[in-house]
Amino acid sequence: MKYDFDTVIDRKGSGDLKHDLLKKLWGREDLIPLWVADMDFAVCPAIVDALKQRMQHPVFGYTGKSADFWPSVVDWIRTHHQWEVQAEWLKFIPGIVKGIGMVTNVFTEPGQKIICQPPVYHPFRITPQRNGRRVVWNPLVRRGDGYYDMDFDNLAEVCDEDCKVLILCNPHNPAGLCWSRETLVRLADFCYEHHLLVVSDEIHCDMALFGRRHVPFASVSEKARNNSITFQAPTKTFNIAGIVSSYCIVPDASIRERFFSWIEANEFDEAPLFSSVATVTAYRHGEEWRRQMLEYVEGNVLLVEDFCREHMPQIRPLRPQASFLVWLDCTALHLQHDQLTDLFVNKAHLALNDGEMFGPGGEGFMRMNVGEPRAVIRQALAQLAAAIG
Ligand SMILES: Cc1ncc(COP(=O)(O)O)c(C=O)c1O
């Protein structure tokens, strides 16, 4: 079956954040929203059908996870990432940012420190800070080819005994990086030796592009396995963020005991009824949709690259190795932050995430969501070129 990613779906009125927050965040509504990281594609029909079928039953009372929930997760991880996880390592959590908040509260005390590697997904900073923890930056180092490396020398310098957790974005948002096994092994060694628990946020892991592969952090070594909490979810990949379904993977028994008992005490592991239906259907019947979606996204990335090269060479997109977000290097425009925002918002009528929100190293960048029908991308690029012109 050929799935349709071309149709432009009007989400206005559906309560989606992408449109509803335009006025609040940018002061105007006449913007093409290419910011919040969900896609404007219709969800895989198999998932919609399974939800509809469940809705035929008129009672939506307390309901457990389906018997195939964990087997479908275990099978998915084995076939997609060649990682054999045990069912007992897994626990449902109601969202990955919430999971970061949980780790913050269970594994650190107020005033202690959490290390992040910016530019990075902003809740890695916001969630610990709002819980009274201090955030320590270990900025990524930009290479000549535009990609990034971790800075292990700086990590050794900034890491002191108050640092208790390092949050890893794997694959990395906003730059769309798939970290290499070598880098992850080195990070695992460092964190193990410095008693830093690693939280590996792998929400983008099922969207590796252009022949790249995702390497699960906990799978790279014994030290990684015994000193980590991994978060994964079907929500980004299958465009079901509004349904909310995610889980953590904790191979080490003592970390698991500490974390899972807290989660259970607070009943955060009870999956809402529709999460279970959507997750099992995505993992059992969504593979072909996922493949076609990724192929379509790759086409959008190539379109952005070609268009920028031809019509606005001052914008240099970094080809993502995973996911539907493109990191645009706009530094050649030589604009201050406010001028750059003004160009995108008031002149080009586009709402993108500006790079500064992702922390040090994000200055002069914009993050563009290309999980969109191609016509929308074309229109957005044309508006940007006209504004720059
Ligand atoms: C790296 C990363 N983690 C987590 C999330 C959000 O996950 P959740 O909605 O499960 O909190 C996002 C969404 O953009 C993300 O990019």
DSSP string covering 100-131: HHHHHHHH--TT-EEEE-SS--THHHHHHHHT
The atom number, within ligand 1, closest to the CA of 100 reads 11
Residue 167 to residue 126: CA distance in whole angstroms: 12
Residue 382 to residues 11, 12, 253, 347: CA-CA distances in angstroms? 22, 22, 54, 12
What pLDDT does residue 151 have? 98
Q: Residue 265, class by beta-carbon neighbours within 10 Å (0-12 exposed, 13-18 middle, 19+ buried)? A: exposed
What pLDDT does residue 282 have? 98
Q: Ligand 1: which of 120, 173, 239, 326 to mutate, most ligand atoms within 8 Å of CB? A: 173
**Residue 38 CA, ligand 1 centroid: distance in Å:** 10
The atom number, within ligand 1, closest to the CA of 37 reads 14
**Residue 167 CA, ligand 1 centroid: distance in Å:** 13
Q: Ligand 1: which of 17, 38, 97 to mutate, most ligand atoms within 8 Å of CB? A: 97
Show the tokens assigned to 72.
């479908």
pLDDT tens for residues 287-311?
A: 999 999 999 999 999 999 999 999 9
**Residue 388 CA, ligand 1 centroid: distance in Å:** 31
Residue 6 to residue 296: CA distance in whole angstroms: 9
**Residue 213 CA, ligand 1 centroid: distance in Å:** 20
The atom number, within ligand 1, closest to the CA of 246 reads 10
Residue 317 to residue 324: CA distance in whole angstroms: 13
Residues in the chain, pLDDT under 50: none
**Residue 47 CA, ligand 1 centroid: distance in Å:** 21
**Residue 203 CA, ligand 1 centroid: distance in Å:** 6
Residues with CB under 6 A from ligand 1: 37, 95-97, 121, 169, 173, 201, 203, 233, 235, 241, 246
The atom number, within ligand 1, closest to the CA of 36 reads 14
Residue 49 to residue 190: CA distance in whole angstroms: 47
What beta strand segments (E) does the chain contain? Answer: 32-33, 90-93, 113-116, 134-137, 141-142, 148-149, 163-169, 197-201, 228-232, 246-249, 316-318, 325-329, 350-351, 353-354, 365-369
User: pTM for the whole thing?
Assistant: 0.98
Element (H, E) at 19: helix 17-20
Nearest CA to 335 out of 344, 346, 325 is that of 344
Q: Residue 113, class by beta-carbon neighbours within 10 Å (0-12 exposed, 13-18 middle, 19+ buried)? A: buried
Query: 329: which DSSP letter?
Result: E
For residue 104, give every residue at least 6 positions away whose Cβ sits within 8 Å of its Cβ, in sequence order, or none: 114, 127, 128, 131, 133, 165
Residue 72 to residue 32: CA distance in whole angstroms: 37
